[in-house]
Amino acid sequence: MLAVGVLLAVPSALATDSKAQTSGIVSQLPGAEAFDAALASDLETAWRNRASGYEPRTRHLNTDGEPKYTNRLYLEPSPYLQQHAHNPTNWYPWGDEAFDTARRLNRPVLLSVGYSTCHWCHVMEEESFEDEEIARYINEHYVAIKVDREERPDVDAVYMTVVQMLTGQGGWPMTVWLTPTREAYSGATYVPARDGDRGARIGFLTMLQRLRAAYDQEPDQVTAAAAEITRQLTARLAPAPGETAGADATTIDEVSAFYDAQFDEQFGGLRGTQKFPSGMSLRLLLRQHRRTGDARALDMATQTLERMAAGGMYDQVGGGIHRYATDARWLVPHFEKMLYDNALLVTAYLEAYQVTQRDEFAAIARDILRYLERDMSAAEGGFYAATDADSLGSGGEREEGQYFTWTPDELAAVLDGPTLALVTLYYGVTTEGNFDGRTILHQTRPLADVAAELDIEAGEARRLLDAARDTLYRARADRPAPLRDDKILTSWNALAISAFAQASLALGDAGYAERATHAADFVLSRLKDGDRLFRSYAGGEARVPGYLEDYAFLIAALLDLYEATSEPRWMEEALALDGVLAARFEDPAGGFFRTSDEHQSILTREKPGYDAAQPSGNSVQLLNLVRLHEFTTDDTYRQRTERALRAFDVGLSQAPVAMAEMLLAVDFRLDTPKEIIIITPDSRATAEPFLAELRATFLPNRILSVVGEADRFDAHAALVPLVEGKFARDGVATAYVCENRLCELPTTDPAVFAQQIRSRR
């Protein structure tokens, strides 16, 4: 494969400096062809219609404050692409126009992939893409494409796999060198601008020069390298199916043993210098404990959840969790916050609460949900995607973590007396700080211990701390806030809908189900056209056809919402979306492609099985299939599950740790799921004594249908055949607990119901 370390002669520039355009904001980008009249007109129109208060994100400004440069990305609604709209780099969005231009000019393509809240993406923008010398070289020698990985996970997944194959690591910003036929011939992640910067031997400008020289002077080598990369890529992203669906309890035991061997006994999580909330499948460990009684599995899960919530990676003031910690202690995070991390962790904390009945786990789940409602909710109903790591500091420059950190003087300005002493000691605020002279708040030790040291009664300490958090939140809101990526992504919203729906069931709070309903209504009305989903909603527009994860995550969310609300329409929508997956995404040999048969293929059609920060679409859809089989009794779902597991048999046998979320479906299949039908004479509220018992029980492998005899009974029975023939005995709520369609004696006694759902046959 082509290396970047071979110094080759730099070719002469292929582009000419056409006559500069000086009308309005459309001026010549350094070294680039002049924009045609239609593009220039579109840019001028967009500029005239810009939002009030718009501030160009660039250091290249004219004396009147208007941007010196504007490129095609100004026409794109993605917040990330908008961040690069005034770079001197001649960016194109992903699409045929860019590759057609590359063929016309016989140039390689420079692909840059990132996302709006990525700290190192901002660094590379400042160092390289805003640098006029580097921009000129790119504009003269490449066709440059900028991609928002969150809107185009297909592009990101394909070329991230390339970068991992070439370098052994991945991350963002991601930079890949492509031929005009979209094949990659080299790749990297963040690269400093010039040789010697940040200790780098080879800087980005030198890489650009060498890889362009290789493209011109060694075309056969470039072609051969690109073809071999594509061959290996196809083998990785679309593996051949196995002979059997071989994953079983032994596979789950193997993953649990791996976690045991790699567990950080001091700080929780896996050992290492960085800690990600997705580093361990906490939900799988909780199921391992339930299935086998393995106390070690439970200890690893709960200790990790405890330490994560106590560290600086958790926002101790505003709630919610940052993307990952840069140290083993969960202390110093990268400060961006992602909707998906927070939604997934709500589910993990709720399940840990059900296993342990420890109130602190329920409290953390509520705290994260409060953050999502307060800081990440769009008025129309959806949830925003993320917030940035960086915010403006006192010097007017963007600084990482400035918004979230504190000094003793800042605390003293808004707190006093016992409250100030308590917050200072509990959250470890010191004069020297722990992050660039400031303090990342973290829980130094249990609150009861700190209260005892300060001679404050424990209950009073909790009251003071809660009040102080609200005070600090309001004070922090006066600071320049991190930028928020306000696009609304279907799959990430689906995770949030699941989190709120599950919380409604687990915590007995109907308000959470109402919030989930609001978001589901938004997704189904704004991000769905006919039977098709869109991926992203930004700038008042739904765009990009939906991917596997959009459908799979939303199906899961709708099933959760059906269980939480007793609304048949959610089950109907879930079944309809599964029909689209079956028709457009499913491989007859088993499993699901990331893209539908209507998407444009990028080198190969990926069938994702490995988990990343989010579970793979196939992992979630497999769990959907086993749930739908239980709900509908339709054997087709079981058959599709078997085919899908065969499709991933090789991966599950060779690298099960990388596919741990898929093992949730395996655990469901190994169990004898409970099929719970509760019939009420009128409203769902009369089922509450039974639901309270269900809340106190960790029962992950089950389905639930709560049906009012007087409220759309026939609609439920048509969707969930087990409902047929059930009734409320003696006019009171009656529970039916079944396994394999065979039911225990119906009961009106919650205590009997509790015994039935907790029995293991």
Please give the full DSSP string across 81-92, using - where no structure is assigned. Answer: HHHTTTSSS-EE
- Looking up tokens 């970047």, which residue turns up? 4
Instruction: Give yes or no: residues 153 and 286 share one domain.
Output: no
Answer yes or no: is 317 within a domain: yes
> How far is it, in rounded angstroms, from Cα 720 to Cα 628?
9
| CA nearest to 684, candidates 562, 582, 592, 589 | 562
> How far is it, in rounded angstroms, from Cα 476 to Cα 356?
34
Q: Do 68 and 61 form a contact (C-beta atoms < 8 A)?
A: yes
Instruction: Give yes or no: residues 94 and 220 share one domain.
Output: yes
Instruction: Give yes or no: residues 372 and 472 share one domain.
Output: no
Answer yes or no: is 307 within a domain: yes
SS3 per residue for 629-655: HHHHCCHHHHHHHHHHHHHCHHHHHHC
Q: Is the peptide bond before 173 cis (omega within 30 degrees of 0)?
A: yes
- Token pair listed for 548: 């596997």
pLDDT of residue 18: 36
Answer yes or no: is 535 within a domain: yes
Q: Do 320 and 368 form a contact (C-beta atoms < 8 A)?
A: yes
Q: Which of 444, 478, 512 is the last residue of a domain?
A: 478
Instruction: Give yes or no: residues 339 and 414 share one domain.
Output: no
Instruction: Give yes or no: residues 642 and 666 share one domain.
Output: yes
Answer yes or no: is 417 within a domain: yes
Q: Which of 653, 670, 687 is the last residue of a domain?
A: 670
> How far is it, in rounded angstroms, from Cα 328 to Cα 272?
6
- Looking up tokens 């990790």, which residue turns up? 304
| CA nearest to 566, candidates 521, 622, 620, 501 | 501
Answer yes or no: is 572 within a domain: yes
CATH assignment of the domain containing 562: 1.50.10.10
Instruction: Give yes or no: residues 646 and 521 share one domain.
Output: yes
Positive/negative CA dihedral, 328, 332, 338, 341:
positive
Instruction: Give yes or no: residues 598 and 527 share one domain.
Output: yes
What residues have CB less than 8 Å from 549, skipping those under 6 apart? Answer: 153, 491, 594, 614, 616, 617, 620
Instruction: Give yes or no: residues 494 and 463 share one domain.
Output: no
> How far is it, in rounded angstroms, from Cα 266 to Cα 124?
35
> How far is it, in rounded angstroms, from Cα 446 to Cα 82?
44
> How far is it, in rounded angstroms, from Cα 135 to Cα 595?
33
Let me know if 165 is exposed, middle or buried by CB neighbors in 10 A (0-12, 13-18, 19+).
middle
Phi, psi of 150 (to 5 degrees): -75, -30
- Token pair listed for 738: 């079944």
Answer yes or no: is 214 within a domain: yes
SS3 per residue for 391-408: EECCCCCEEECCCCCECH
Segments forming the whole domain that contains residue 457: 404-478
pLDDT along the chain (761 residues), means of 10: 33 33 70 94 93 91 92 95 96 97 97 93 96 97 97 95 93 96 96 94 97 96 95 85 81 97 96 90 97 97 98 97 95 95 98 97 98 96 94 77 95 96 97 96 96 96 97 96 94 98 97 98 97 95 96 98 97 98 96 92 90 95 98 97 94 94 96 97 93 96 94 92 94 96 95 94 64
Q: Which of 170, 202, 237 is the last residue of a domain?
A: 237
pLDDT of residue 24: 63
Answer yes or no: is 16 within a domain: no
| CA nearest to 686, candidates 625, 741, 730, 738 | 730
CATH assignment of the domain containing 200: 3.40.30.10
Instruction: Give yes or no: residues 528 and 460 share one domain.
Output: no
| CA nearest to 451, candidates 441, 459, 442, 440 | 459
Instruction: Give yes or no: residues 105 and 224 share one domain.
Output: yes
Instruction: Give yes or no: residues 272 and 231 share one domain.
Output: no
> How far is it, in rounded angstroms, from Cα 614 to Cα 153?
12
Q: Do 58 and 67 form a contact (C-beta atoms < 8 A)?
A: yes
> How far is it, in rounded angstroms, from Cα 501 to Cα 511?
9
Strands 398-400 and 390-392: antiparallel
The total domain count for the chain is 4
pLDDT of residue 242: 73
Instruction: Give yes or no: residues 753 and 690 share one domain.
Output: yes
Answer yes or no: is 24 within a domain: no
**176-208: buried (b, 16+ CB within 10 Å) or exposed (e) per residue?**
bbbbbebbbbbbbbbbbbbeeeeebebbbbbbb
pTM of the model: 0.92
| CA nearest to 510, candidates 691, 708, 645, 353 | 691
